[in-house]
């Protein structure tokens, strides 16, 4: 198995998935969040209920929430599919596993709703009786509990299946991209992959801007971790060095063809500090910008 696929950031483009997650939450009326295999959140909660927000403000109760998330994810991974259960407060939650080649990497958690026919519910509590809590002991939470959305088990199942299919598709696409790239000798021999073209084009056209790797990965529709890996392979440079080289090549053109002050050139190319620009320029070119300009003028004469 490709060891890179063990890392969750090779599977999910977190920024892009956050937007998808927000839309899922808005459309379904469920809270949604992504967690790693330990139960630690890797996205921000979407549509988190006021009840669960209050619960998670209590450090002890928050630990129980994370325990439920972690166990729910593991149960989902064991079943290799969506797992619907009741948390320590008896609220319906769903865990959809992120599994690659049989390895559990994390899960998408959805829910924070009540089952309409709860008296006849067949859902099981995810924690033992020792950790099952009653609202009678938390009167400050009762009003917020009553505001929770109620859904039929059929609708809950339909949402669980929808998210499960979406995650399977995302994981499958990520595996396919990585496998195709790693198995293609042409890409490893230095030929530009189509995956990076949107980023390389953007850098060439917007070199004056402050450029961020996460934004470029988003343009390429891949995760930041995967983007960093193939960017280094294809360009021979890490992202920040590559951007600086593009800027400095443009700086050399300007120095050769104009008398623009060096401080202005630095600012125009997105360097906030002229001293840093001079330092980077000297490291890349082997001379200061002023000496470089003077040498070019002398050569012309």
**Range scoring the smallest mean pLDDT among 14-28, 29-43, 191-205:** 191-205
* Whether pLDDT at 99 is above 50: yes
CA 291 from chain centre, in angstroms, equals: 44
Q: What is the pLDDT of residues 46-86, one digit of tens each?
A: 999 999 999 999 999 999 998 898 899 889 988 889 999 99
Task: Please name the CATH architecture into which domain 240-300 falls.
Answer: Orthogonal Bundle (1.10)
CA distances 101 to 1, 35, 80, Å, are: 7, 19, 11
pLDDT band at 93 (very low <50, low <70, confident <90, very high): very high
In sequence order, the 6+-apart residues with CB closer than 8 A to the CB of 194 are: none
Question: CA gyration radius for the chain?
Answer: 26
Q: Are 224 and 214 in contact (CB under 8 A)?
A: yes
Burial of 29 (0-12, 13-18, 19+ CB in 10 A): middle
* Whether pLDDT at 182 is above 70: no
CA atoms within 13 A on the CB side of 268: 11
Note the maximum CA span of the chain.
93
Average pLDDT, integer, range 206-222: 87
Please report the pLDDT score of residue 2 as a whole number. 44
pLDDT band at 1 (very low <50, low <70, confident <90, very high): very low
Please report the pLDDT score of residue 193 as a whole number. 54
pTM above 0.85, yes or no: no
CA-based nearest residue to 243, from 223, 225, 216, 220: 216
* Whether pLDDT at 45 is above 60: yes
* Whether pLDDT at 94 is above 60: yes
How far apart, in whole angstroms, are the C-alpha atoms of residue 262 and residue 277? 9
The larger pLDDT score, comparing residue 83 to residue 174, is at 83
Task: Please name the CATH architecture into which domain 3-177 falls.
Answer: 2-Layer Sandwich (3.30)
* Whether pLDDT at 195 is above 90: no
How far apart, in whole angstroms, are the C-alpha atoms of residue 133 and residue 141? 12
* Whether pLDDT at 183 is above 70: no
Residue 111, beta-bridge partner list: 31, 93
CA distances 235 to 65, 136, 228, 240, 243, Å, are: 44, 62, 11, 12, 11
pLDDT band at 105 (very low <50, low <70, confident <90, very high): confident
How far apart, in whole angstroms, are the C-alpha atoms of residue 16 and residue 281? 35
Hey, where are the domains in the chain? Answer: 3-177, 184-236, 240-300
Distance separating the N- and C-terminal Cα atoms of the chain:
62
CA 76 from chain centre, in angstroms, equals: 21
Q: Are 14 and 215 in contact (CB under 8 A)?
A: no
Residue 31, beta-bridge partner list: 111
Beta-strand relationship, 150-151 and 103-115: parallel
Q: Residues of the chain with pLDDT > 90: what percent?
A: 51
């Amino acid at each position: 198995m490709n060891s890179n696929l063990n890392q969750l950031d090779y599977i999910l483009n977190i920024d892009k998935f956050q937007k998808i997650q927000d839309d899922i939450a808005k459309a379904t009326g469920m809270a949604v969040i992504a967690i790693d295999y330990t139960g630690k959140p890797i996205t921000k909660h979407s549509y988190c209920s006021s009840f669960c927000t209050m619960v998670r403000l209590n450090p002890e109760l928050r630990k129980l929430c994370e325990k439920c998330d972690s166990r729910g994810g593991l149960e989902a991974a064991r079943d290799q599919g969506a797992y619907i259960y009741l948390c320590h407060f008896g609220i319906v939650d769903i865990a959809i596993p992120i599994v690659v080649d049989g390895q559990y990497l994390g899960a998408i958690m959805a829910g924070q709703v009540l089952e309409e026919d709860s008296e006849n519910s067949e859902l099981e509590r995810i924690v033992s009786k020792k950790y099952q809590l009653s609202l009678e002991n938390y009167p400050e939470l009762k009003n917020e509990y009553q505001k929770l959305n109620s859904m039929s088990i059929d609708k809950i199942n339909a949402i669980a299946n929808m998210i499960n299919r979406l995650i399977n598709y995302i994981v499958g696409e990520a595996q396919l991209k990585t496998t195709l790239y790693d198995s293609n000798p042409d890409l490893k021999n230095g030929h530009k992959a189509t995956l990076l073209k949107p980023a390389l084009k953007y850098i060439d056209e917007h070199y004056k801007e402050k450029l961020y790797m996460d934004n470029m990965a988003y343009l390429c529709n891949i995760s930041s971790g995967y983007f960093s890996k193939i960017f280094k392979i294809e360009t021979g440079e890490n992202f920040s060095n590559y951007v600086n080289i593009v800027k400095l090549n443009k700086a050399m053109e300007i120095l050769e063809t104009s008398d623009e002050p060096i401080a202005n050139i630095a600012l125009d190319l997105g360097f906030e500090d002229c001293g840093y620009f001079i330092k980077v320029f000297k490291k890349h070119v082997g001379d200061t910008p002023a000496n470089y300009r003077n040498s070019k003028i002398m050569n012309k004469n």
